[in-house]
Amino acid sequence: MSDTPRTDKARAESQKSIWTNKDTTTLETVSIYFAKELERENNELRELVNLITKQEESDSGRIFYPNQISSCRCLDAKRIGEITEKYRKTPHIKQGE
């Protein structure tokens, strides 16, 4: 015997959305959910890049980065620097948000 609901009402009941409190899950509600998740993750990435690229001036006048990500692997550290620089210069990421 199949677990598939045999009537439209039973099908709609079995497809209650976990993303919104609508009766059925539609492609649109799933797309909206993932778009919101993507926007949240982009905001967190922006915040991380802003923290890493924040510059401060010491009492002696020297400019330094107070927040760092480090690696004991030279190639990883180089790649981290390249990625950070890329996102720091990306036009759609507003600096200082």
pLDDT in tens, 17-74: 444 455 556 777 778 888 888 999 988 988 888 888 888 999 999 999 899 888 899 9
Alpha-carbon gap, residue 65 to 53, rounded angstroms: 7
pTM above 0.85, yes or no: no
State residue 97's pLDDT score: 45
Nearest to 15 by CA among 2, 31, 3, 1: 3
